[in-house]
Amino acid sequence: MTDLLPVLPENWERALCVAAHPDDIEYGTASAVARWTAQGKRITYLLASRGEAGIDGMHPDEAAPLREAEERAGALEVGVDVVEFLDHRDGVIEGGPALRRDIARAIRRHRPEVIFSGNFDDRMMSGMSNQADHRVVGLATLDAARDAGNRWIFPELLDEGLEPWGGVRFVAFAGSATPSHGIEVTGTPLARGIKSLEAHAQYTSGLGARGPEPGPFLTWVAQMSGKALGVEAAVLFDVYWIIPEGPRPWQ
């Protein structure tokens, strides 16, 4: 019998979810968010862009407010009422210090214990090539988790009254081909996660045949992921520890 993945730690109270576009969080992570907000945990969303380049045939000036509204509606479906946007340009988000600074700023303000983002590998879990913004934002999020705790990196944030926050324990990435942990979302969390993606109706309808139907697709993915935990439905993550867990052999 294949060994099951360990369960993602839940002994935390505050989390930040960072994504490149509206709807990124809804393709799986939102179901886990529904589980956690039901436990009373405080979760905030941070979007690098407003997804303005995501609807073919709709000008970015029109698409941006529409996609922002859909993201806020989807977040409410899973108990998240704070959704922030960084206004980097959709489709050509640039990695580097400016993006890291923006994410570190949010980390210092919200002081999360854990952070969730998306796979930054070249390939997605399905084997498809990963989109450029996803790769850039995922890696910048991992770097910013450390940047936020160092007062000598982005010292201008001190001038904004933002003291360093070194309390991020781990960053967990959804959609990885090599997940290390998982969390069960059977029943209500998955149902709420589906509702969250359904809130992006105009975006998903604009995908046409390229876009999967939210209910069947998320159910199938969650059921496939559930096998790794020995449960009916799950969301899987690849965890990068910022603060080591458990005993340290050198101590």
Residue-level pLDDT, tens digit, the chain, 251 residues: 468 999 999 999 999 999 999 999 999 999 999 999 999 999 999 999 999 998 888 999 999 999 999 999 999 999 999 999 999 999 999 999 999 999 999 999 999 999 999 999 998 877 788 999 999 999 999 999 999 999 999 999 999 999 999 999 999 999 999 999 999 999 999 999 999 999 998 877 766 556 678 999 999 999 999 999 999 999 999 999 998 877 766 65
Cα dihedral value 197, 201, 204, 207, nearest 10: 180
Q: Kindly state whether residue 4 falls inside one of the protein's structural domains.
A: no
Q: Kindly state whether residue 86 falls inside one of the protein's structural domains.
A: yes
Give the per-residue pLDDT at 248: 65
Instruction: Indicate the number of domains in the chain.
Output: 1
Contact 31, 192 (CB under 8 A): yes
Instruction: Give the distance, in angstroms, between the CA of residue 103 and the centroid of all CA atoms in the same chain.
Output: 13
Give the per-residue pLDDT at 84: 98
Q: Kindly state whether residue 231 falls inside one of the protein's structural domains.
A: yes
Strand partners of residue 14: 42
Q: Kindly state whether residue 5 falls inside one of the protein's structural domains.
A: no
Strand ordering across the sheet containing 83-85: 83-85, 42-47, 14-19, 114-118, 170-174, 234-241, 181-184
What is the pTM (predicted TM-score) of this model? 0.95
Q: Kindly state whether residue 100 falls inside one of the protein's structural domains.
A: yes
Q: Using CA atoms, how far apart are residues 127 and 152, in angstroms rounded to an integer?
A: 39
We report the CATH number of the domain holding residue 137 as 3.40.50.10320
Q: Kindly state whether residue 50 falls inside one of the protein's structural domains.
A: yes
Give the per-residue pLDDT at 18: 98
Q: Using CA atoms, how far apart are residues 115 and 232, in angstroms rounded to an integer?
A: 25
Q: If you count DSSP H runs as helices and E runs as strands, how many of each does the chain have, helices first?
A: 8, 7
Q: Kindly state whether residue 1 falls inside one of the protein's structural domains.
A: no
Give the per-residue pLDDT at 250: 62
User: Whole domain around residue 24: which residue ranges?
Assistant: 14-241
**Residue type at 157 in one-letter notation:** L
